[in-house]
Amino acid sequence: MIFTVAVDGPAAAGKGTISKRLAAELGLAHLDTGLLYRAVGARVLGGEEAAAAARGLVPADLDRPGLRQPAIADAASRVAALPEVRRALLEFQRAFARREGGAVLDGRDIGTVICPEAEAKLYVTASAEARAARRHAEQVAAGEAQPLEAVLAEVVARDARDTGRADAPMRAAADAVVIDTTDLGIEEAVARALEIVRGRL
């Protein structure tokens, strides 16, 4: 069976958590495509040129410690705006998406660019304030919190970069189902996503 679930949306909306749960519940493979860009960003921060870092990416890069740190997240957003980086990672993502057994991919351009033929498409979003509060709570739990105002400013800046880039801007696919998690608990959001995807299986 080849069955692709594309889950797009901005940072901290819950798409990663929803995608992992979808994959686990439905027995599908899962790829957090943001990790690809974080891994490239980490290599760039280490001194590599962005396109070369993307072409040289190996699976072990996705297991590097610290890929969730704010500096790497910022670097990931910046390298993701580079067309040569996106081209280098395109085929890897497409091959994963169409693998036998089905797959869930989450990112920002899965349903629009990577897999426009995906059998199920979700766009998971939430208000910038709600997403900043979630990211801030994650930082507090990790003992590395910035002021909430600074986190909100980063969320807004990243949204502007991701939606405003010329190559593969973040947006909902025309045939995606939008799930707004601003006022949803995670179990409610997962249940809604499962209902949508099961209806397309």
Question: How far is Cα of residue 148 from the mean position of the Cα atoms in its chain?
Answer: 22
10 marked as binding residue: yes
Asked whether the beta carbons of 37 and 105 are under 8 A apart, the reply is no
9 marked as binding residue: yes
185 marked as binding residue: no
- Supply φ then ψ for residue 30, to 5 degrees: -130, 135
16 marked as binding residue: yes
120 marked as binding residue: no
15 marked as binding residue: yes
103 marked as binding residue: no
Tell me the torsion sign for CA atoms 95, 96, 99, 102: negative
Residues 6+ apart with CB under 8 A from 141: none
164 marked as binding residue: no
From CA 21, how far away is CA 184, in angstroms rounded?
A: 16
Tokens of 93: 């993502």
52 marked as binding residue: no
DSSP-derived secondary structure for 119-185: SEEEEEE--HHHHHHHHHHHHHHHT-PPPHHHHHHHHHHHHHHHHH-SSS-----TTPEEEE-TT--
Q: Classify 32 as helix, strand or coil.
A: strand
- Annotated binding residues for ATP, written as ranges, equal 9-17
- Annotated binding residues, written as ranges, equal 9-17
